[in-house]
Amino acid sequence: MSTATTTRTAPATLHVPLPSAAQAARQARHTAALLLTQEEARCPAAVAEDLVLIVSELVTNAVLHAEGPYALTIGLERGRAGVAVSDGSVVRAGPRGDHGRAEPGGRGLRIVRALGAELFVSPSLRGKQVIAVLTW
């Protein structure tokens, strides 16, 4: 079950549990895009595209590198958005030293940072949250 609160004075927020499988990133992208379409007065289209990519990268990382359960939380107000992806793992992975590797992948957090987001990791009762904050 997802809950969304959208008022014009308070930030729009969304929280949705995600499946513990490959379709989690697709569902998260779809959910984020829907919220951002409904809230285009708070978030320009170009920024919305970046936010959907950030959501996709964070959820993909969670599914690939951490245990479930997974959840997506988005907070949106004029000029700022926060994206939090929760997982069931307490392990905080650090930067990898695999810049020369041949197989694809390993660039998710670099992409998020390149889009201008600040990244944080916060422990939770059942794991952790990886949080990206983007301002414009």
Residues 8 and 126: their CA atoms lie apart, in Å, by: 33
Question: For the chain, what is the mean pLDDT?
Answer: 88
The average pLDDT across 110-131 equals 96
Is the pLDDT confidence value at 94 over 70? no
Span 41-59, average pLDDT: 96
Can you tell me whether residue 119 is helix, strand or coil? strand
- pLDDT higher than 60, residue 7: no
What does the pLDDT read at residue 100? 47
pLDDT over 50 at 45, yes or no: yes
pLDDT in the model for residue 11: 84
Whole-prediction pTM value?
A: 0.85
Token representation of residue 80? 């700022």
Mean pLDDT for the stretch of residues 105-115? 89
Average pLDDT of span 36-48:
94
What pLDDT, on a 0 to 100 scale, did the predictor assign at position 76? 96
* Cα pseudo-dihedral 38, 72, 10, 47, rounded to 10: -50
In 3-state terms, what secondary structure has residue 130?
strand
What pLDDT, on the 0 to 100 scale, is given for residue 9?
Answer: 65
